[in-house]
């Protein structure tokens, strides 16, 4: 499924007649829930703002729906809501951050800040993050790096669900890869799972009784399958881009997962979580920034002009769809699917927390 279809699908899923919430309302709602889960208010605000930013840019799968997962992680002891990230070591152009098994977003934001500062000093930098569960949406962090005028790259592993190319069993996580570059008053930011699709898409197909397009999963003996139930009968997701994407996912295990010390997804000692590496590169250490910005603008203009061909097809740069969605949702508000509002309301009810007009029973 193309990223456009994916987002169109998410947009269709929301009822046009449903109430729309402002970013501020959603951040307040999410922060209140996280605070009741045990997060200090400052942490709750940071995590809430990060989740709502995902809603705003159109990636609802990484938005406030995650409150439900996070409450389970807190209840199960995998996330300590008051855990705070710390810098364990910093040497030369690299540093290591320990997430304290708290929420991943504050750890990733700390690592991103360190990476940007260190790249300014050394030309390039890398910061690893260990001991944290869901790191959030990597696209946010590489965008922050690009907004600082640097090139950003980030990747992490996650629970095993993807088969290696030509294989059958679950070896790698959906292992996202993100990469950004600054423009003069904007940026380009790529952020994708190295699996062909997210597991959530297969779950929805099961729920809706639909078959899958070919190429998304294999069954338990490695045969291509279009039956989503096969994923839950010992099957696995496929990597994007055949052997190329599968290889990238393996390298993410060998670098982000091992350099962070979290262990690879298929290691019997893997305890879950996202072993993460965030890198920043200071373009100004290589070339004049004015020249860079000019050449970057030329690339963006020519990619659209030449790439559009004689039919003037609409060429999107990485992150452009997200930027358009951000503008639209900042202006018009965010629709939250009824089933998500219901689940968050149930969660809030546990704490006797009144969610006001967000509540849906």
When asked if residue 168 is in the footprint of a copy of itself (CB under 8 A), the reply is: yes
Per the structure block, which two tokens stand in for 181?
């570059």
- How many CB atoms are closer than 10 A to CB 216? 21
Quickly count: other Cβ atoms within 10 Å of residue 72's Cβ: 12
Q: Which residue has the tokens 């970057």?
A: 296
Pick the stretch among 35-43, 55-63, 101-109, 118-126 that binds a copy of itself (CB under 8 A).
118-126
Least gap, CB of 55 to a copy of itself (angstroms): 21
**Which region, judged by CB under 8 A, interacts with a copy of itself, from 24-32, 99-107, 178-186, 199-207?**
178-186
Under 8 Å between Cβ of 253 and 264 = yes
DSSP state string for 80-120: -TT---EEEEEETTEEEEE-TTS-HHHHHHHHHHHHHHHHH
Q: Which of residues 207-236 bind a copy of itself (CB under 8 A)?
A: 220-222
Q: Which is closer to a copy of itself, CB of 125 or CB of 158?
A: 125
Residue 138 and residue 150: Cα distance in Å, rounded? 16
138 vs 296 by CB, closer to a copy of itself: 296
Helix (H/G/I), strand (E/B), else coil: 244: helix
Contact stretch for a copy of itself (CB under 8 A) within 43-51, 78-86, 179-187, 332-340: 179-187
Binding positions for a copy of itself, 235-254, rule CB under 8 A: 240-245, 247-248, 250-251, 253-254
By three-state DSSP, how is residue 314 classified? coil
Out of 54, 264, 274, 276, the residue judged to bind a copy of itself by CB under 8 A: 264
- Residues 6+ away with beta carbon under 8 Å from 104: 129, 132, 133, 134, 135, 136, 274
Q: What is the DSSP letter of 172?
A: B
Rounded CA-CA distance 192/155 in Å is 10
Structure tokens at 2: 């193309």
Nearest distance in Å: CB 343, a copy of itself? 30
> Considering beta carbons, is residue 255 or 343 the nearer one to a copy of itself?
255
Sign of the dihedral through C-alpha 83, 85, 46, 324? negative
39 binds a copy of itself (CB under 8 A): no
Query: CB of 277: closest distance to a copy of itself in angstroms?
Result: 8
Residues 69-98 binding a copy of itself (CB under 8 A) are 91-94, 96
121 interacts with a copy of itself by CB under 8 A: yes
Q: Which residues pair with 86 in a beta bridge?
A: 98
3-class state of residue 220 by DSSP: coil
Please state, in angstroms and rounded to a whole number, the distance separating the CA atoms of residues 188 and 181.
Answer: 5
Tell me the closest approach of the beta carbon of residue 207 to a copy of itself, in angstroms: 25
Site for a copy of itself in 187-206 (CB under 8 A): 188, 190, 192
For the bound state, the minimum distance from the C-beta of residue 127 to a copy of itself, rounded and expressed in Å, comes to: 9
Bridge partners of residue 335, in order along the sequence: 20
Please report whether residue 185 would count as binding a copy of itself according to CB under 8 A: no
Q: Which residues 6+ apart lie within 8 Å of 6 measured at CB? A: none
Task: Show contacts with a copy of itself in window 126-165 (CB under 8 A).
Answer: 126, 128, 151, 160, 163-165
Asked if 36 touches a copy of itself (CB under 8 A), the answer is: no
Please pick, from the candidates 198, 258, 326, 328, the single residue that binds a copy of itself as defined by CB under 8 A: 258
Q: How big is the site for a copy of itself, counted in residues (CB under 8 A)?
A: 88
Ranges within 276-335 binding a copy of itself (CB under 8 A) = 279, 281-283, 285-287, 291-292, 295-296, 298-299, 302-303, 305-311, 313-318
CB of 61 to a copy of itself, least distance (A): 16
- Least Å from the CB of residue 93 to a copy of itself: 4
């Amino acid at each position: 499924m193309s990223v456009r279809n994916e987002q169109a699908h998410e947009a269709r899923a929301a009822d046009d007649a449903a109430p729309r919430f402002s970013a501020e309302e959603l951040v307040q709602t999410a922060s209140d829930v996280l605070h009741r889960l045990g997060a200090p208010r400052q942490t709750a605000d940071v995590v809430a703002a990060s989740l709502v930013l995902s809603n705003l840019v159109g990636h609802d799968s990484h938005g406030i729906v995650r409150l439900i997962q996070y409450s389970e992680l807190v209840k199960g002891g995998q996330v300590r809501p008051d855990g705070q990230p710390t810098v364990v070591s910093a040497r030369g152009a690299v540093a290591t951050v320990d997430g304290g098994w708290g929420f991943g977003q504050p750890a990733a934001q700390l690592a991103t800040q360190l990476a940007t500062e260190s790249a300014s000093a050394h030309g390039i930098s890398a910061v690893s993050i260990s001991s944290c569960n869901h790191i959030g949406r990597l696209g946010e962090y590489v965008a922050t790096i690009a907004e600082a005028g640097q090139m950003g790259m980030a990747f992490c592993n996650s629970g095993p669900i993807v088969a290696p190319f030509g294989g059958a069993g679950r070896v790698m996580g959906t292992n996202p890869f993100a990469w950004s570059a600054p423009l003069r008053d904007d940026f380009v930011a790529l952020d994708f799972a190295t699996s062909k699709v997210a597991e959530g898409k297969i779950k929805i197909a099961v729920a809706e009784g639909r078959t899958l397009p070919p190429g998304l999963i294999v069954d338990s003996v490695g045969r291509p399958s279009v039956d989503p139930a096969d994923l839950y009968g010992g099957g696995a997701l496929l990597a994007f881009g055949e052997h190329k994407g599968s290889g990238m996912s393996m390298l993410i295990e060998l670098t982000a997962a091992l350099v962070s010390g979290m262990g690879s997804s298929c290691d019997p000692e893997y305890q879950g979580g996202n072993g993460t590496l965030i890198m920043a590169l200071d373009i100004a250490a290589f070339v004049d920034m004015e020249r860079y910005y000019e050449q970057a603008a030329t690339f963006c203009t020519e990619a659209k002009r030449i790439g559009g061909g004689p039919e003037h097809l609409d060429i999107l740069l990485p992150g452009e769809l997200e930027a358009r969605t951000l503008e639209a949702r900042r202006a018009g508000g965010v629709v939250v699917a009824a089933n998500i509002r219901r689940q968050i309301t149930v969660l809030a009810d546990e704490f006797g927390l009144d969610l006001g007009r967000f509540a849906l029973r």
